[in-house]
């Protein structure tokens, strides 16, 4: 159904302006091609893979009907030990990552739910967003296929339209402008640097003959210098000279600075911060939170989960359980909370325990005790419901704390009487 994708190998700033005007009229083909070209850049592809591929492989949570949630989480061929769940079979991680990337870059992504023989649910296939067209007069999206324009109805069981850029003109909120301009400037600077290296990085060879040399001698001398190869040795007569002339310009530094600046802009646009791109793979569950700003991870996760919950999971429920089960349709979400440091959690619990014990001993002589439940809530210490309340230590004769309180009680009574007498006199 999808035509052959159009690729553009050379981009200029004027192309970005033309793509802006075309997108505002409803055709996002050139904007999507620019985004696809920018993804060839190493920095863009690396950070984008961390933000999308690392995200869709985070743990998932399902809430709702227990039976449907269990079917989504377990494999389709349970008796054969299938490791992939029905959710992953229906919505492959690669397709979800590609759609999430299109949503980040272009502001809109499109996919198709294709039927599979032998299964009671389809599989998601991401389509190229450059074939999307929006008609303002109809307020409707169309897909430009090999048979013509096909109207898109999100959630009809076939089309999946992911619109994280907003319901109105989502292409205006995509990153294709910022990253596209940075990609164009960076690619031009790299080409200019290559041209400088091929022309000026290699020194020029100079063959100098004496004034009295004949033309034939000069020509032979220049031919020998022109044939200068590796480990060439010249034996010169007086007056003949061989030397190198190197460029002392520093123009190459401007190209290097331009490339570094564009890399920084790409990092800020995709990660929300400047990150270290060579400090690890960045694809592990524990690394994505260090590379990408937390609110951007949650934004991408919530938007993609909303599309899945409204346009994909209902299709699974409809095919497997029937129309009556749509009221029991579950929802899913990715767990994007940063992984906890277990050593730090254990240290927090230990410190909280010591603090509660110290406060209990310090307040007991004054007839007070700390609110243990409130302190546990402050330190996020899990408690079992129905647990016995912590009681203050009893004043038994064999308790050192009770003996200390009995020794301090006369002084406390005396001080209380003195304050009462002062108030009466006042």
Contact criterion met (CB below 8 Å) for 92 and 123: yes
User: Domain boundary residue among 304, 334, 364?
Assistant: 334
**Whole-angstrom distance, CA of residue 99 vs CA of residue 112:** 11
Look at residue 304 and tell me whether its pLDDT is greater than 60: yes
**Is the same domain home to 226 and 135?**
no
**Is the same domain home to 164 and 223?**
no
**Is the same domain home to 45 and 89?**
yes
**Is the same domain home to 231 and 113?**
no
SS3 75: strand
User: Phi/psi at 143 (nearest 5 deg)?
Assistant: -110, 125
SS3 string, 176-213, reads HHHHHHHHHHHHHHHHHHHHHHHHHCCCEEEEECCCCC
Identify the band that residue 303 occupies on the pLDDT scale cut at 50, 70 and 90. Answer: very high
Domain contains 7: no
Contact criterion met (CB below 8 Å) for 20 and 180: no
How many domains are contained in the chain? 3
Helix axes 252-271, 176-200, angle to 10 degrees: 160
pLDDT tens figures, 220-247: 877 877 777 766 777 677 777 877 776 6
User: Domain boundary residue among 334, 359, 377?
Assistant: 334
Domain contains 251: no
Domain that holds residue 364: 344-425
Domain contains 5: no
Provide the 10 A C-beta neighbour count for residue 106: 27
**Is the same domain home to 27 and 86?**
yes
Domain contains 192: no
pLDDT of residue 335: 86
Q: What is the DSSP letter of 239?
A: T
Domain contains 186: no
**Is the same domain home to 301 and 400?**
no
pLDDT of residue 255: 77
Of the candidates 307, 316, 53, the residue with the CA atom closest to the CA atom of residue 160: 307
Q: Which residue has the tokens 């993804």?
A: 39
pLDDT tens figures, 106-154: 999 999 999 998 888 899 999 999 999 999 999 999 999 999 999 999 9
**Whole-angstrom distance, CA of residue 149 vs CA of residue 246:** 60
**Is the same domain home to 330 and 350?**
no
pLDDT tens figures, 20-64: 999 999 999 999 999 999 998 988 888 888 888 888 888 889 998
**Is the same domain home to 78 and 172?**
yes
**Is the same domain home to 53 and 87?**
yes
Q: Please give the share of the chain, as a percent, with pLDDT higher than 70.
A: 78
Identify the band that residue 159 occupies on the pLDDT scale cut at 50, 70 and 90. Answer: very high
**Is the same domain home to 27 and 75?**
yes
Return mean pLDDT, the chain: 80
Identify the band that residue 413 occupies on the pLDDT scale cut at 50, 70 and 90. Answer: very low
Of the candidates 412, 334, 416, the residue with the CA atom closest to the CA atom of residue 54: 334
**Is the same domain home to 68 and 137?**
yes
**Whole-angstrom distance, CA of residue 264 vs CA of residue 273:** 9
Contact criterion met (CB below 8 Å) for 100 and 52: yes
User: Domain boundary residue among 334, 365, 398?
Assistant: 334
Contact criterion met (CB below 8 Å) for 65 and 328: yes
Domain contains 51: yes
Return the higher-pLDDT residue of 71 and 226. 71
Q: Which residue has the tokens 């009995």?
A: 406
**Is the same domain home to 78 and 212?**
no
**Whole-angstrom distance, CA of residue 395 vs CA of residue 408:** 13
Domain contains 42: yes
Identify the band that residue 369 occupies on the pLDDT scale cut at 50, 70 and 90. Answer: confident
Domain contains 145: yes
**Whole-angstrom distance, CA of residue 363 vs CA of residue 381:** 22
pLDDT of residue 298: 87
Q: Which residue has the tokens 């220049």?
A: 222
């Amino acid at each position: 159904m999808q035509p052959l994708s159009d690729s553009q190998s050379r981009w200029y700033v004027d192309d970005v302006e033309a793509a802006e005007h075309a997108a505002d009229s409803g055709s996002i083909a050139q904007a999507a091609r620019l985004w696809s070209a920018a993804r060839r850049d190493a920095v863009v592809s690396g950070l984008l893979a961390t933000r999308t591929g690392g995200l869709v492989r985070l743990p998932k949570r399902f809430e709702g009907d227990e039976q449907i949630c269990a079917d989504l989480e377990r494999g389709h061929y349970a008796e054969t030990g299938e490791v992939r769940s029905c959710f992953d079979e229906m919505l492959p991680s690669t397709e979800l990552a590609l759609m999430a990337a299109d949503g980040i870059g272009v502001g809109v992504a499109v996919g198709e739910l294709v039927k599979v023989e032998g299964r009671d649910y389809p599989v998601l296939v991401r389509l190229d967003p450059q074939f999307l067209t929006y008609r303002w007069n109809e307020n409707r999206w169309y897909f430009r296929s090999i048979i013509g324009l096909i109207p898109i109805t999100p959630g009809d069981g076939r089309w999946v339209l992911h619109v994280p850029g907003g319901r109105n003109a989502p292409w205006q909120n995509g990153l294709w402008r910022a990253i596209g301009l940075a990609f164009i400037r960076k690619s031009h600077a790299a080409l200019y640097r290559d041209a400088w290296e091929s022309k000026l990085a290699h020194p020029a060879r100079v063959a100098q003959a004496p004034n009295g040399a004949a033309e034939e001698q000069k020509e032979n001398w220049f031919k020998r210098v022109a044939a200068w190869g590796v480990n060439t040795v010249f034996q010169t007569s007086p007056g003949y000279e061989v030397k190198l002339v190197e460029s002392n310009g520093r123009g190459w530094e401007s190209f290097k600075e331009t490339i570094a600046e564009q890399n920084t802009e790409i990092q800020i646009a995709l990660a929300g911060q400047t990150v270290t791109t060579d400090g690890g793979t960045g694809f592990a569950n524990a690394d994505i939170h260090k590379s990408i700003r937390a609110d951007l991870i949650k934004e991408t996760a919530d938007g993609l989960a909303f599309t899945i919950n409204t346009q994909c999971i209902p299709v699974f429920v409809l095919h497997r359980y029937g129309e009556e089960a749509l009221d029991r349709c579950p929802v899913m979400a990715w767990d994007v909370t940063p992984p906890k440091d277990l050593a730090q959690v254990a240290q927090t619990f230990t410190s909280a325990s010591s603090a509660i014990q110290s406060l209990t001993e310090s307040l007991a002589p004054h007839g007070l005790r700390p609110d243990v439940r409130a302190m546990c809530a402050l330190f996020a210490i899990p408690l079992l419901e129905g647990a016995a309340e912590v009681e203050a230590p009893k004043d038994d004769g064999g308790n050192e704390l009770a003996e200390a309180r009995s020794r301090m009680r006369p002084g406390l009574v005396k001080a209380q009487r003195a304050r009462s007498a002062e108030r009466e006199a006042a």
